[in-house]
Structure 1
Amino acid sequence: MFDMYRGFACYKNWNFEVLNYSAAEYGGLHHAAVRIAGDNVYMHLKHEGGTHRVQRIPEVGLSSRMQRIHTGTMSVIILPQPVELDVHIDPKDLRIDTFRSQGPGGQGVNTTDSAVRIVHLPTGPVSSECQQTRSQLQNRDTAMRLAKAPLFSIIKVGTRNQAERIRTYNFSQDRVTDHRTGYTTRDIKEFMRGGEELEELITDLLEHSEQEALLEAVEIFVTGQPEV
């Protein structure tokens, strides 16, 4: 997923900036945060937020007689980057932690405690984190700007329940299906490159969203209230 969105950013000539990256214990990626800047970024990516399901055959099961499908989920959150906000945060309400960075390839980033995590104590779990550079001061400044975004206090990842999935990546069947529009592609490797296949799906989602908004507007005009 990380490489897919990085590939799509490259395809759209957007800037892809890694703010936080944590490798998983057994390889791969545990979580990451990136800032993507360019023309109409939020408009294209706003529907990517949600639970994504992946189905695959693990490497250890390739030679077994009974191949078992492994199913997992990933959560994606899309937040618009606000302009500089005039929001006052009392320093006494903050807990600032420093720790060693983990990068997607560089080893020098984790030699000092340059990564910064800021927790806003009154809101408990609401926090921001940055390990973008080797400079603790720069990372702290970025984390503070992210913490000021009001969306951090109201947007949640979700329950990661498979019933809430928005898309399925089925590697064993070479298929990607979006469950909101029914869009399906039979070339999962090409889709995961983040090029034309992903743009086609995103265009389909934008059209679907516009149609739903239009139908809701018509319904409100006719009935006076949306259907519950």
Structure 2
Amino acid sequence: MHSRSMWLFSKVGQRAHIGALRRRGIIYCNTIEYFRGLRDGNLRGDPLENCTAFYHPGKSELRINGTKLNNIVGPIVVYNGPDDVYQTTHLFCVTSIYSGMEIREDGKIFDPRVSGFGDTMLIIKPAPFMARVEKAVEKLKQQGTDIELFKGLVEYVPAGENQHQMSVLRKADIYAWQEEFRLALRVRNWHGSAFLLEIGSIADISHVVPIKKFINKVEELSDGQVCLNFS
């Protein structure tokens, strides 16, 4: 897991959903299987979600009972079994702006493709947001819910190379433009689809921005504060 100083989180979605998140603090966490099956041009969907490894035919061999299989088309993907912990894991994903991140050549921090997620961006202060998330998870534990929180920046790995240790916090580098920070909630004995984590209003630690207004420049001031310029 990366350890970086977080400047801000941003969540892009439809205005109604962003409004519910801001006013009521409803964090909508979809299943890993949902994201794996989603076909949306590599925005939210990722067919490699829930895999533990993938191997390319030109860089590996596949043998069954000692017999080598030839003419394999596409990568060999190893997925978690139906009883694995990943099957009970739900994700909430945000874009992260953090110290040391690489600025795009056009000077913008957000990739224009984020507009595919919706028409409204919510800028969120990371520290108080995470404090409320952790408090809500702890409250559910005290109420008897078997729940565990995993969190962190996603590590992006080369899609063209064999990968032996994929996880909920590792993705192929074709998604690197998303600069994703993930909350992964493992909820045992949850038989629904999405899991809703309610943390209360975050109106005091967030700001709504129309998606057409991207942050063009970030400047770290001498006193350690950060200046974000919109246009």
Q: What TM-score, normalized to structure 1?
A: 0.25
Q: Is the radius of gyration larger for structure 1 or structure 2?
A: 1
Normalized per residue, which structure has more strand? 2
Normalized per residue, which structure has more helix? 1
Select the structure with the greater relative contact order (CA < 8 A; seq sep ≥ 6). Answer: 2
Q: What TM-score, normalized to structure 2?
A: 0.25
